[in-house]
Amino acid sequence: MESKDAMAALAALAQETRLSIFRLLVRVGPEGIPAGTIGGTLAVPAATLSFHLKELSHAGLVSSRQEGRFIYYSTDYDRMAALMTFLTENCCKGMPQACLSVMETALVGCCTPQSRRKSARSKS
């Protein structure tokens, strides 16, 4: 991840509503939830929610998909992992594998990166 990409992601998360949206999406997992459910859960009006989801999407932190009349939003776990890697790549006195192995293990335990989900779907 480039510095400018990390700054865009961090700037998107540096706002209370967007951080709450992102954390909710992380909790619900890779399948995501409809925009209306996000708004209802967090008590965010539709117009405001749309703005914040757009900001998170432009930062590459969330993705969307249309299913019928609903737009589902989900965390881009690959992008989240890249940001976490960027933030910790110089930790532990130049031996980031100590930090990264803990994070990678945690991510694999909760959420499959999108690249692996896509290949798993194509095999089904």
Q: Is the pLDDT of residue 120 over 50?
A: no
**Does one domain contain both 37 and 9?**
yes
What is the mean predicted confidence (pLDDT) over 80-87?
86
CATH code of 43's domain:
1.10.10.10
Q: CA torsion angle for 41, 42, 47, 51 (degrees, to 10)?
A: -120
**Does one domain contain both 93 and 53?**
no
Contact status, residue 83 vs residue 6, Cβ threshold 8 Å? yes
Q: Where residue 84 falls among pLDDT bands split at 50, 70, 90?
A: confident
What is the mean predicted confidence (pLDDT) over 18-30?
94
**Does one domain contain both 21 and 34?**
yes
> Residue 103: what pLDDT?
59
- The model scores a pTM over 0.85: no
